[in-house]
Amino acid sequence: MATNCTNCPLRGLDLFVPLTEDEVAFMKRFKTGELTVQKGTQILMEGSNSPQLFTVLRGMGLRYKMLEEGRRQVVNFAFPGDFIGLQAGIMGEMKHSFEASTKMTLCVFARSDIWNVFKNQPQRAFDMTWSSAAEEHFLGDALASIGQRTAIERIAWAMVRIFRRAEALNMTQGQSMPMPYRQQDLADALGLSLVHTNKTLAKLRDRQLASWSDGTLRLMNVEKLAQLAQVDLEQEERRPLM
């Protein structure tokens, strides 16, 4: 059976700010359906004017931009709870593409209802803006990583970031978590070549800091990784779920 907001499996997580009953009722109406796609499916296309917004319910994906000559920049990895497509919803056109890296289920909303949210549900509108501000914050951090850090620091940074997101979603088991991406995806996210990414991953394995194979990421020493990457391990703030 499709999830109906009331029984949303994400809502209960500590990561998310609880919704009032009113808000849940509103979300039920706002939600127009559910979309399940196979791994590899393109869900949003750069430049497209999608009539839909999504919240990731299950599965993982990635946002990316294509440049000429096949160069690609992965902008972010997507986890359950991520709100996708707000750019198109607000600005009229997607500025990056979105693709499923696993089988995914997404809650679907209509872009045409956004104005209604701003008009009648200011709290939910505020929460949407929060999402956008949070993404802006993340991109600033990513820019700093790619602009200023070495290859090993960048990879350590990405691993810590990814792992902590997974933790907050109860997707980890001890030191491990599912990592359904390809090395090429990570390389494209960090502005590194595939070859160098592979060799740097080997270094982290040799140093007993992290290993990633067969779709499983394992962080053997988060503290050292965090230190290497210069990220602080402070508790992540609660965030709204759309």
Residues in contact with DNA by CB under 7 A are 150-152, 182-184, 191-202, 213
From the list DNA, a second copy, none, partner contacted by residue 183 (C-beta under 5 to 8 A by kind): DNA
- Residue 96 CB, shortest distance to a second copy, in Å, is 6
- Residue 193 CB, shortest distance to a second copy, in Å, is 11
Residue ranges of E strands in 13-59: 31-37, 42-44, 52-58
- Between 160 and 217, name the residue whose CB sits nearer to DNA: 217
From the list DNA, a second copy, none, partner contacted by residue 184 (C-beta under 5 to 8 A by kind): DNA
DSSP H/E element including 61: strand 61-66
- Residue 6 CB, shortest distance to DNA, in Å, is 35
**Alpha helix segments (H runs only) across 36-121:** 86-91, 114-120
- Residue 137 CB, shortest distance to a second copy, in Å, is 4
113: DSSP letter: G
Q: If we measure between CA atoms, which residue out of 83, 98, 90, 86 comes closest to residue 46?
A: 98
Q: Give Cβ neighbours of residue 236 (< 8 Å, ≥ 6 apart).
A: 15, 164, 168
Q: b/e string for 128-144 if b means 16 or more Cβ within 10 A? A: beebeeebeeeeeebee
- Residue 197 CB, shortest distance to DNA, in Å, is 7
- Per the listing, tokens 């009331």 go with 6
Question: CA 76, CA 98: separation in Å to the nearest integer?
Answer: 10
Of 12, 28, 33, 139, the residue at the interface with a second copy (CB under 8 A) is 139
- Residue 141 CB, shortest distance to a second copy, in Å, is 8
Q: If we measure between CA atoms, which residue out of 26, 13, 56, 29 comes closest to residue 121?
A: 26
Of 3, 41, 102, 132, the residue at the interface with a second copy (CB under 8 A) is 132
From the list a second copy, DNA, none, partner contacted by residue 194 (C-beta under 5 to 8 A by kind): DNA
- Between 95 and 215, name the residue whose CB sits nearer to a second copy: 95
Report the interhelical angle of 151-168 vs 183-190 (nearest 10°).
110
- Between 136 and 214, name the residue whose CB sits nearer to a second copy: 136
Footprint of a second copy on this chain (CB under 8 A)? Answer: 65, 67-68, 71-73, 75, 86-87, 90-92, 95-96, 115, 118-119, 122-123, 125-126, 128-130, 132-137, 139-144, 146-149, 188-191, 230, 237
